[in-house]
Each structure stands twice: as C-alpha cells, then as structure tokens.
Amino acid sequence: MIYTPNTKKALKLCFEAHKDQLDKSGIPYVFHPFHLAEQMTDEDTTIVALLHDVVEDTDYTFDDLAKMGFSESVIEALSLMTHGDDVPYMEYVAKLKNNPIAKTVKLADLAHNSDVTRLDVVDEKALKRREKYAAAIRLLNE
C-alpha cells in the first residue's frame, strides 16, 4: 500500500466506516477495500480503493469526503463507483469506463468479488453474480 497523509486519512476513514460490517462469509468487510488498496500503484487509486463503498454502504456523503480534503479527482472517481439503485448495473459500469482511476479500482473490485473461494457456500446466486462480474470486466476491457 502507498502511505501518504491522504492515504492514511482514507485508511482510517475506511476502517471507521466499515468496522462493524461483515462480508457474505462473516469476515470483516474492511479486508475487501484493504485488499484492493494493496494492489494500487498511486495515491488516488489507493484512496479510491479504500473508500469505494463508503458512500454506497454507510452514512458518509460526498460532501463529507470533500470537507475531509479529498481531491476532486478522487471524489469524481468515487461518485462513478457508487452504484445507485435506480441505475442498471451494466449502465453503471459503462459510465465509469472512461475514468482511469475508477476503472482501475473497479477492475480490482470485480476480480476480488468474483473469487468464489471467499464464500462459504457457492450457490446458484453466487455463480450468477460471478457471470455478471465477468461481463462487467469484459465491458471495462473493451
């Protein structure tokens, strides 16, 4: 992971925001964004990896993140990565394709979320989700 004052701020926020959440297997959710952040190669992608689900899955807002001093490029990428309930999934993925920060983080996110070895039970729902993620990866790589 890249350690700068901003990535450390994002790391702390990520932990605080997700500390009580668990993934589908009961593992602390925070390990997912940490895993993504470990793969990133610059400050902005590291921050976005750490914070990619904060607005979508917690009470934090983009205004909160802006007030904390995160850059416009980070806020823009996070906005693209936040999937609204009213937007079809593949449309959401297509919108972030042209933002290099969002695209880089989303590809890592999709790869990690496609790893069914993370799950205790691999059922039909998990396999369908993996197929959806494979289609999203193809779209991003076109």
| Residue 120 to residue 7: CA distance in whole angstroms | 32
Contacts of 64 (CB under 8 A, 6+ apart): none
The residues that are catalytic are 56-57
Please report, as a single letter, which amino acid is at residue 89: Y
| Residue 59 to residue 45: CA distance in whole angstroms | 22
Orientation of helix 100-113 relative to helix 43-51, angle to 10°: 50
Strand, helix or coil for residue 97: coil
The tokens of 76 are what?
A: 């823009």
